Structure 1
Amino acid sequence: MTPPTVRSSAAQETREPGGSATRAWTMRLLVLGIVLSALNLRPAITSLGALLEEVRDGLGMSGSVAGLLTSVPPLCFAVFGVMAPRLARRFGAGAVVCAGMAAIATGLAIRPYAGGTAGFLAASALALMGIAVSNVLMPVIVKHWFPDRVGSMTGLYSMALALGTALAAAVTVPLTDTLGGSWQSGLALWAGLAVAAVLPWLPFVRGRAAAPGAGDRGGDRPAPAGDAGAETPAPGTESAREETSAPASTEPAREEAPRLRITRSRTAWALAVFFGLQATAAYITMGWMAQIFRDAGVPAGTAGLLLAVTMVMGVPLAFVIPRLATRLPHQGPIVLALGVCGLAGYAGLYLAPAAGAWAWALLLGVANCAFPLALTMVGMRARTGPGVAQLSAFAQSTGYLISIPGPLLVGVLYQHSGGWGLPIALMSALMIPQMAVGVLAGRDRTVEDEAGR
C-alpha cells in the first residue's frame, strides 16, 4: 500500500486533535509546544553549573563525584536517546515529548530535596531522560508537521534552545538570592518551566500526532545547512543531528540503498571522534566554567552571566557557520579557527581568569560552535539519505561515549591538584586532537566511497 504524502498525512493527523477546521489553532499550539520544549532542553544542566559549589557543599560532594555529575548528561543522551524512535512508534511522538517534559519537571522538582547524592543523581537522570527523548523527536516533529518550513522552524527551535541554556546560566543565581539563598529553591524553580511545556502537547497524546515515519521524507536527503545550527544542543542542540539520525530508526527501508560498513570509513571515524571531543569541551564548559570563574574571585552572579554569554554565542554563529561550511570544499580552516579560539580561551582562563573573564567567555563561546559545524559535516560527508542517517547515528553514539569521561576527569584533577592548572591543561590538550580529526573529517569525500560494498 502506498504510504500517504507528507501533506495528506499531516492533514489527517491534524484532524485528530480537534478537526480540520482547527488546523490553524493546532499549528500554533505545535509551535508553542516546540518552543517551550526547546527552552527546557538545557536548564537542567546549566542551572546546576551556576550553583555547583552550593550543591557540593550542601550534599557533601567531593570533586570526583561532582565530576561524575557533570558526566551524567552525555551518558543519559547516549543511553536514553536511542529509545526515542521505538517509543514514538508505539505511543506517538507527541505523547513521548509530553512525557519527556513531565519527566523533566518531575526530576527537577525532586532532585534538590532527594536527601543525598544518590537521590540527586537519580532525579537528575530522570530529567535528563526526558531531555534525551525530546532531543531526538522534536526535530522529527518539525520535519513532519512543517515540511515546507524546516529551516525556519529549526532556526526557531535552535534559538529557543540556546536562549534556555543561557537564561538558566544567567538568572539562576539572582533568582536563588531572591528566594532566600536556598540552592534547593534555585534549582527547583526550573521545574515550573517544564510544567508549562507539558500543556501544549496534551491534545496530541491520544491521537499519536506527529508520529515519525508517517510521510516524513527527512531521511531522503541531508538537512539544509541552516538546519544544522540547532544546539547548541545540542541537543540544542543537538537538533540537526537528531533530525538526520531519527529517521534511520523509524524508516530504514524507505530508500533502496545498501547498508554501509560504516566502521570501514576513515571519515566516519574522524567525524565520530571530532563530535566526541567537541561534546567533551561543551559539557566541561557547562559543568565547570562558572566554578573556574568563582574560584578566581568572580562573584557567583557574574560567573553565571559569563557562562550565559558563552552559551548564547551559539545563537548567531549556529546560522553563520553551517552556511559558510557548505560554501567551502574543505571545512578544515573553520575547524582550525574554532580550535584557535578555544586554545586562546583556555590560555586566558589559566593566566588571568578574572581580569579577562568576558573575553575568555566569548572565545570559548566561539569554540563551542564546533557543534553545528560537526552537524553540517555529517550532512556533507554522505550522498544519500540512508548514508546521512547511518553516519549521523554512528558519529553521535560513538561521540557521546567518548565525551563521558572528560567532565569526570576534570573533577578528579581539580580535587587532587587543588586548583585549575591541570584541568585547564587537559582541556587544552584535548583541543589539539579535536583540530586534527576535524581537518580529516572536513575533507571533500563521502562515506559511500569509503564504506560501500
Structure 2
Amino acid sequence: MRSFCTMGSCGLGASGLGVPSRVVTRRGYLRRPGDNGSVTTPSPTPTAGGRWLVGAAIVLLAVNLRVAVGSVGVVLEQVRDDLGMTATVAGVLTTLPVICFAAFGVGSAGSVRRLGLHRSAALVLVLLTIGLVLRSVVHDETVFLLCSVVALAGAAVGNVILPPLVKAHFPDRIALMSSLYGAALMGGAAAASVGTVPLADAFGGWRPGIGLWAVLTGVALVPWLLMLRRDVHTAPVDEERLPMRAVARSPLAWAMLLVFAAQSAAAYAQFGWFPEMLGDAGVSSGYAGALLGLLSAVGIPLTLGLPWLIARVGDRPHLSWGFATLTAAGWLGVLLAPSTLPWLWAILLGLGGGAFTWTLTMIARRTRTTAGTATLSVTTQGLGYLLAGIGPFGVGALHDVTGSWDAPIIALMLLTVVIAVAGTVVARPVMLEDTLVRPVRD
C-alpha cells in the first residue's frame, strides 16, 4: 500500500496520540520527533552568565560583518589615487561584497558542519582581522583586492552562521536575538561609514582609517575563544543533516530565497545609486549622503521592535506586505518628486528594509533543528546574494541604456511584488523539515 507520511499527518506514534513514530525524508534518513512533534538538536545548556556571554558574542560578531564594506566606500577616492586604481578595478571592488557573500556563503556549509559554530565564528573574525590589517598596508591594487576578498570571505561565513547560532543558543528568544543582531549589522555598517573619515583625518590617511577597524574585530574574537571548548555543530547526528540539494526542493526555501534576494537587490541598489538619483534631481551631494545615512539609521529602531511586531502579527503575512508597500511608496516618491521630500522617501525606504531582518528571523522560526537552520541560511543567503548582484548592476545598466532613472526605479518597484508574494509563503506556519518528506511504502 502506498501512503504519504508527514509530520503529524499520518499514522499513530507509540503514544497513540497522532504523533508519527517516524518521518522519512527525501534522502531516506529517519527523524524521531519528541512528544510535541518537533525534532530537537543537542545544544549546550549554559548558565545565565553563559547566555549573556554568548548573546554578547553574537551581537559583537554581527557588528563586524559590514565593517569591511562600509569603511572603503567613503575613502574610495583616496584609495584609488594612492594605489593608481582604475575605474574598472574600482567597479570590481564595489561589486566584491555581493560576489563574496554569494560564493563563500554557499561554500561554507561543509566547513561549518566540520568546524562547529563557535570555531567558525572565531575563524570569521580572524579572517576579518587579517584582511582589514593587510589591505591597509599594501601598495598594489591587485593585492588590495585579494585582501578585501579575505575579509569579505569571513563576513560571508558570518552571515550564514548567525541564524543557526541563535537557533542553538536562544531557541526561546529567536525574534529578540535576530532583531539584536540585525540592528548590530546595520549599526556596524553605519559606524564604519561615519567613523572611517574622522579616523583617517586623526591618524594621517586612509590606511589607518580602514585598518583600525581590526581592533574591533580583535575585541569581538575574545569571547569566541573562551567558548571553543563548548562548540555546537550544525549536524551532530548523521541523520539530522540536510543537504542543500534536498532543501532546494522545498517551496518554503525558494520563497525565503526570493524574499531575501529581492530585498538585498534593492538594498545594494540604494547604497550604490540612491545619492546619485537625488543628485541628478538637484539635491546637493552632502545632503544626499546624509539621506543615505538616514535611510540606514531608520532601520535600526524598526529592527529592535521586530519581536513585538512578529508577536502581534503572528503567522499572517502582514509584515511582508507592509515592507513591500513602504518600499514601493519610497521608490514612487523618488520617481515622481525626488527633490521635494527626499527625507520622506529615505525614511520609507529605510522602513521597508525591515524585510531583511524579518527574513533572517524567519529562517530560524521555520526550521526545527540547528542543522535545518544552518542549511536554510546557506541556501537563502548564499544564492540570495548571488541573485541580489543583479540589482545594482541592473540599475546602472538600465540607466546607461535609457539615459534616465525612470526605468531603473520602476524595476525596483516591481521587486516589491516579489517580497509581498513570496513573503506570504514564508509567513505560513510551515516548517522546512515538514516540506522534505517523501512517499514511503508500508
What TM-score results when the alignment is normalised by the length of structure 2?
A: 0.72
Distance in 2 (CA, whole Å) between partners of 1:355 and 1:332 is 32
Which deviates more from structure 2 when the two are superposed, residues 39-48 or residues 439-448?
Answer: 439-448
Match of 2:65 among 8, 33, 41: 41
Higher helix share: 1
Correspondence for 1:238 = none
Q: CA deviation at 1:76?
A: 1.8
Match of 2:232 among 203, 212, 234: 212
Distance verdict in 2 for CA 1:5–1:344, change over 3 Å: closer
**Residues 39 and 160, structure 1, Cα contact 8 Å, conserved in 2:** yes
CA distance, structure 2, for counterparts of residue 436 and residue 82 of structure 1: 25
Measure how far apart 1:341 and its partner are.
Answer: 1.7
Alpha-carbon contact 2:282-2:339 (below 8 Å) kept: yes
Matched, 1:164 2:188: yes
What does residue range 7-18 of structure 1 map to in structure 2 within 5 Å? 10=46
Distance in 2 separating the partners of 1:369 and 1:93: 26
Match among 348, 352, 368 for residue 363 of structure 1: 348
Match of 1:253 in 2: 239
Shift of residue 390 of structure 1? 5.3
Report which stretch shifted further, 368-377 or 289-298. Answer: 289-298
In the alignment, structure 1 residue 315 sits paired with structure 2 residue 300: yes
Write the distance in 2 (CA, Å) between the matches of 1:148 and 1:333. 23
Greater gyration radius: 2
Partner of 1:190: 213
Count of aligned positions: 398
Please give the residue correspondences for 1:40-189 in structure 2 after superposition, counting only pairs within 5 Å: 40-52=64-76, 59-62=84-87, 66-82=90-106, 84=108, 86-88=110-112, 91=115, 93-111=117-135, 114-115=138-139, 117-138=141-162, 140-141=164-165, 153-177=177-201, 182-189=205-212
Deviations 1:212-262 (A, max 9, x none): 23xxxxxxxxxxxxxxxxxxxxxxxxxxxxxxxxx3x5555249x999954
Distance 2:403 2:430 in 1: 46
Alignment partner, residue 261 of structure 2: 276
Going from structure 1 to structure 2, the CA distance change for 1:381 and 1:212 (only over 3 Å counts) comes to closer
CA 150–361 in structure 1, closer or farther in 2 if over 3 Å, else same = same
**1-structure distance, mates of 2:410, 2:69:** 24
Provide structure 2 residue ranges, at least 5 long, that are not aligned to the other structure: 1-39
CA displacement, residues 323-351 of structure 1 (integer Å, 9 cap, x when unaligned): 53465476443323222221222233344
Gap runs ≥5 in structure 1: 12-22, 214-246
Alignment pair present for 1:347 and 2:332:
yes
Give the TM-score normalised by the residue count of structure 1: 0.70
Partner residue in 2 for 1:228: none
Mapped to 1, the partners of 2:296 and 2:237 lie a distance apart of 34
Correspondence for 1:234: none
Matching residue's letter, 1:195: G
Tell me if the contact between 1:93 and 1:210 (Cα under 8 Å) persists in the aligned partners: no
Counterpart code for 1:162: M
Question: What SS is found at the alignment partner of 2:154?
Answer: helix
Distance across 1 between alignment mates of 2:132 and 2:158: 16
CA pair 133-391 structure 1, distance change in 2 beyond 3 A: closer
| Aligned partners of 1:261 and 1:452 also within 8 Å | no
- 1:42/1:290 CA distance change after superposition, 3 Å: farther
Q: CA deviation at 1:125?
A: 1.3
Q: 1:209 is matched by which residue type in structure 2? A: R
Cα RMSD (Å) of the superposition?
4.2
